Amino acid sequence: MEERDYWYWLGVTADLGGAAAGRLLALYGDAESVFREKELPIGGGQQAALEESRKKLDELLRERDAYEKAGIHWCHRMDACYPKRMRDIPDPPIILFWRGELPPEEEKTAAVIGARRCSAYGRSMAERFGSALAKEGVAVISGMAMGIDGYAQSAAVNAGGRSFAVLGCGVDQAYPAVNRPLYESLLTAGGVISEYKPGTPPLPYHFPARNRIISGLCDVLLVIEARKVSGTLITVDQALEQGRDVLALPGRLDDPLSEGCNQLIRQGAGILTTPGDALAALGLRDAEGETKEREAGEKARKQAALTAEQRAVFRALSFDPTHLEEIMRKTGFSLGEISLILMVLEEFGLARPVSGGQYVRT
């Protein structure tokens, strides 16, 4: 038996938990010593779980070998490949599983998080920041959830960048199922990561726990949309406890999806208005400098290239969804004319369709 085998046993023992395992390691020094100690200072249920897993050690190791043959990697806290960003956070995971890769130590990372049921504006901003960060070589970390998480990560991958998802289930599962295309793309353009062994279902209490890994892997945390009471703010609290910078996108005072962000800003979070703000927090750009100027210049050039008719349709749009009938009313153009113009605006990256025959500016 190798020390690494004992680490695996400790990390996957059901019902023990990372905090209890961490206390045992601090008390006994290493995983093998924990394995060999029969009377541990833990609760009866945890003691029983450890005893049961001791009996199944050979089975656990065969299971682990099968995971490795299937391309699922793992490491423990003392392995050289364990992320350095994670080593000093409160309650670091005993072990991590991953498919694809782990974020390289030399690569800047930004977590982009927010509401699952986000607005069209929130989606637009998530895609804007995810894409812009990726183009600057910043890896996007998130939870692959519906809404802001998934939109930001998909935009990063589509921009040719890298993204890493931290899951509340085993890394062999694409959850939620609607994000399976994103999951598949992350296997070659980043990775999927979890502290739960393969086969673990996405149980509700796993998600608040996994949030400390999202914040632990990032250099800066960006909040796009959040309600006043939400899981997003749990991640913010963990990021602050870990010493990470937090930036929040301000929103309208009467918008429930902006209450959480506005509250964070009142409490001292940085204000997120352009990708330059995030890059400045990462030490890559001046917040008022090159990135902001380049972004504004690219948009201005695209708008200048529009015909008068295309410009009229563009002006009829906003960051809130606008229905085709409203565009017809504002411009006087026919549905066919507007449809052709919207195709051009989409190609230019100036507009995007949303549900129900509606469009938004991007």
What's the rounded Cα separation, in Å, for the pair 23 and 16? Answer: 11
Number of continuous H segments (helices) and E segments (strands) in the chain: 17, 12
Measured between its terminal Cα atoms, the distance across the chain in Å is 57
Structural fold of domain 109-293:
Rossmann fold (3.40.50)
pLDDT in tens, 19-74: 777 788 888 888 888 888 877 887 777 778 788 888 888 999 999 999 999 999 99
Q: Is the dihedral of CA 161, 166, 170, 175 positive or negative?
A: negative
In order along its 362 residues, the chain shows pLDDT tens digits of 788 999 998 888 866 666 777 788 888 888 888 888 877 887 777 778 788 888 888 999 999 999 999 999 999 988 999 999 998 888 889 999 999 999 989 899 999 999 999 999 999 999 999 999 999 999 999 999 999 999 999 999 999 999 999 999 999 999 999 999 999 999 999 999 999 999 999 999 899 999 999 999 999 999 999 998 888 999 999 999 999 999 999 998 889 999 999 999 999 899 999 999 999 999 887 645 555 556 666 777 888 788 989 989 998 988 788 999 999 989 999 999 999 999 898 888 888 888 888 998 87
Q: What is the rounded CA–CA span in Å between residue 221 and residue 219?
A: 7
Q: Any idea which fold 305-361 has?
A: Arc Repressor Mutant, subunit A (1.10.10)
Q: Is 40 exposed, middle or buried (0-12, 13-18, 19+ CB in 10 A)?
A: middle
pLDDT digits 0-9 by tens, 171-208 = 999 999 999 999 999 999 999 999 999 999 999 989 99
Single pTM value for the model: 0.80
Position 286 scores a pLDDT of 60
Residue-range domain boundaries for the chain: 1-63, 109-293, 305-361
